Amino acid sequence: MKKRVGVAILGLGVVGGGTYKTLVDHREFYLKTQNVDIVVEAVLDKNRARLQELGVPEECIAGSIAEVVANPAIDIVIETIGGVGIAKEFVMAALKEGKTVVTANKEMISKCSHELERIARRNNCGLYYEASCVGGVPIIRTLLDGVQANHITEMMGIVNGTTNYILTKMTQDGKDYAEALKEAQALGYAEFDPTNDVEGFDSTYKLSILSSMAFHTKVPYTKVHREGISSVSVQDIAIGKEIGYTLKLLAIGKNSENGIEVRVHPTFIPSAHPLAGVSDAYNAVYLRGDALDDIMLYGKGAGAFPTASAVVSDVIYAATHSEIKYSTYKNTATAESKVKFISDFSSAYYIRLSVDDKAGVLAKVSGIFGRNGISIVEIMQKGSSSEDGGRVPLIIITHKTKENSVKNAVAKINASDIGTVEAVIRVEA
C-alpha cells in the first residue's frame, strides 16, 4: 500500500525552487520506485513573482508559519531559507508541532543542532540535514549508513565550491585572486559579499557537522582553526605547481589517541592526490577508516538541483523509515569535557620569504628554524636580487613540525633584519 506524505517548503530561493521542481516533476517516479506519494501541500515565501515563476498553485501558498504547522496534512517541513534568524524560528515551530524537518542550512545546524535535536526528540519527530554539507554528495548518509563499521581516523575535503572554483582559475589560468573572484561572482558561484565562502566560514560550519558525525563526539565550530583564501598569491600557486603541489582550501579533521584536530585553511597537496584533480565548483571528501582504509566521495557541491537531490533524499528517507535516527553522540552546545582538541597540530610547511641577497642570510634563517625545532627538507631561491631591489624570494619546505614552532620562527624572522615572511602554507600528504 502506498504511503502518502505531505510536505511544506519554507523559502523558494535557489535550493527551495529546485526542491519544489524536483518533488513536483518526480512525484510519479517516487511513487513507483519508493512506494511513497510525496505531495507539496504548502509553500511559504513572500516573493509572489517567484511563486508564479515556479507555477505554485494558489491553494498551496501559505500565509504564515502558523498556518503551515497547524496543517494536519503536512508531515515534513523543508527549510531552505538559510541563516539562523527566522529560519531557526520556523524550524523550532515545526518541530514543536511534531513535524519532521529537513534542512539545507549548515550554519543553523552547526550552531543550533543541539537545541533543535532536543525539541525533535521531545516531540518524536526527525531532523535531517544531508543537504547542509557538500551539496548533492551523500556524505552524511555515508557516515551514518555506509561506513559505520569503521573508526574514522581522518577526513579531508574540498567542501566549498566557490573557493574551489577561484583556486582552479588561479591554478589553471594564472589569474590573480581578485580576477578569479570577479569571474566567480559573474557566474553566480560567489555572492556580492563573498566573505562567508572565501574566509572559510562556510567550510568551518560543514567541518563541524561532519567531524562530529565521523568522530561520534560534538565538535563545535568554534574549535575549528579557520583561514580563508583572500590572501593567497598566484605566485605561490605557480611555485607549488613547479614542485609538484596543488593548492586547495581543505577542511581537515583528524582523530587520534592524542585528541581531535579540526582546521580549515589553504593547503598544498601532492598533485597526484585524488583531491588535487577536483576542479571548478566540484566538491569531494576523502575519508580514512580502520577497516576500509581510504574512500573518496565526489560530485557537485552546490546548485539548485544537486542540493535539491540531497533535500529530497532526506524527505524520502524520513517518509520510508519509521525509526527516527538522532545523533550518535551527546549533542550539546559545547564539547564534552573529556574530549581534547589539538591546536598545536603537526604539519609540513611551505614558507616563502623575501630576504636580502647577501652572504650569511641563509645561515641566519636556518639558525632560527633550528632553534625552533624545525627540520628543513628543501630550500630554493626563485629569481634574482635585481628583480626586487636587492631582495630574493626564498622558498623553504619543512618536515612535519608543530604549528606553534612555525609561528615562533616566523615572528623571529619578521622581527629581525633578515627579511620578511610573505607566505606560510601547510602541506598535507
CA distance 323 to 7: 19
Asked if residue 109 has pLDDT above 90, the reply is: yes
Q: Mean pLDDT throughout 302-312?
A: 93
pLDDT attached to residue 54 = 96
pLDDT attached to residue 303 = 85
CB atoms within 10 A of CB 217: 19
**Alpha helices (H) in 326-387, listed in sequence order:** 361-371
Distances (CA, A) of 185 to 95, 103, 282, 306, 390: 36, 25, 16, 19, 39
Q: What structural domains and CATH numbers belong to the chain?
A: 3-132 (3.40.50.720), 139-300 (3.30.360.10), 346-427 (3.30.70.260)
User: Could you report the per-residue pLDDT of 382-400, keeping only the tens digit for each?
Assistant: 766 545 557 899 999 999 9
335 band by pLDDT with thresholds 50, 70 and 90: very high
Burial of residue 32 (CB within 10 Å: 0-12, 13-18, 19+) is exposed
Residue type, 132: S
Size (the chain), residues: 429
CA distance 349 to 245: 12
User: Could you report the per-residue pLDDT of 45-75, keeping only the tens digit for each?
Assistant: 999 999 999 999 999 999 999 999 999 999 9
Q: Contact 103/112 with Cβ under 8 angstroms?
A: no
Q: Contact 110/136 with Cβ under 8 angstroms?
A: no
Q: Contact 123/98 with Cβ under 8 angstroms?
A: yes
Any idea which residues carry the catalytic annotation? 206
The residue whose grid cell reads 619543512 is 398
Per the prediction, the chain carries an average pLDDT of 95
The model carries a pTM of 0.95
pLDDT attached to residue 52 = 95
Asked if residue 235 has pLDDT above 60, the reply is: yes
Q: Mean pLDDT throughout 146-157?
A: 96
Q: Is 228 left (phi over 0), alpha (psi -120 to 50) or beta?
A: beta
All cell numbers assigned to 400 = 612535519
Q: Mean pLDDT throughout 188-215?
A: 96
